[in-house]
Amino acid sequence: MLITYPPQSLADGRGYESIDNWTIENPDWEARFYSHGYMLFRGFPITSIAAFEAALSAIMRPSAEFAEETSPRSRLSDQAFTSTDYPPSYFIQFHHEFSYRRNYPQRLAFCCLSPARLGGATPLADSRKMLRRIPADLVERFERRGVMYLRNFGELGVSWQDSFGEASKEKVSDYCRGNGIEYSWSGEYLHTRQKAPAVISHPITGERVWFNSALNLNVSGIEPESIRRALKSLPENAYPTNTCYGSGEPIEPEVIDLLRQAYAAEAIRFTWQYGDLLLIDNILMAHARDPFEGSRRIVTAMGFAR
């Protein structure tokens, strides 16, 4: 079902030369942003990567950090990337960007430079509502154990060179040691394990939220089902990504299904228009991507509260 955004989360650019001008004249905009977890800027003159980058300083502190990628992505400029290079026919499951990393971005900005002919929405799910929807005993289990993220950089998935933006095994090893990532090498293949919380408190609002990527990086959560079945036929040390409880125990299939259903129930969508800029609080909102047809071009940037 298509659920459109309520008006109070829409920043209307009519009559404004820039997002910067709009934020100056609307000093309460961040309170609205935190209330909803997102804001859609529509009607502003954002028609290029340069215009997108110029708008960022008004709404976030952009970061050019590039490390621990799980999805194929291309750098377009110092601050802008493709949102993903994942095939357009596949749904990308709900997640929080880099929630497994020690230093994850607080804010994400997406800009539409070409809407899809069909599909291609960026669904959102409120992490506060997810925490209320998931059974309390399951929340307690995840909160107590955390989530373990397992990665095998081999024949499948993103290479370690692309994931870490580094061609040196020694520098990747140094990065892992410095960021609490257990790692081992098998020739040119890299295997990593890292534990992260499943529930956190927002650093500004103080709200407790469901914040992890336990579903989309689990081999049973990967979309579509045909790829899921193919991957599960392989030995576990060949899975490009997988998740388990932080204690090392597998996450039960019924729990993965429950999370999938919970996200679907909380999902909200809108239809991208040329020039739209969507700002997301990466902690308050999980996001996904619908399959699409046509020349969809969504660019993204990541960063922190101003």
For residue 72, the model assigns a pLDDT of 82
What is residue 7's predicted lDDT score, i.e. its pLDDT? 54
| pLDDT score for 67 | 82
Record the tokens describing residue 258, joined without a space. 């429950």
Amino acid at 237: N
| 3-class SS of residue 49 | helix
Provide the edge-to-edge strand list for the sheet that holds 182-186: 182-186, 189-196, 147-153, 241-245
**All domains of the chain in start order, with CATH:** 36-127+264-304 (3.60.130.10), 135-263 (3.60.130.10)
- pLDDT on residue 4: 47
Which residue in 157, 243, 139, 158 sits closest to 196, CA to CA? 243
37: left (phi over 0), alpha (psi -120 to 50) or beta: left
- What are the tokens at 132? 């209320």
The strand pair at 38-42 and 10-12 is best described as parallel
40 CB-side CA count, 13 A: 22
**Torsion angle in degrees (nearest 10) through CA of 271, 277, 282, 287:** 20
Write out residues in the chain with pLDDT < 50, as ranges. 1-4
- Alpha-carbon distance of 262 to 142, in angstroms, equals 15
Q: What is the pLDDT of residue 14?
A: 87
pLDDT the model gives residue 8: 63
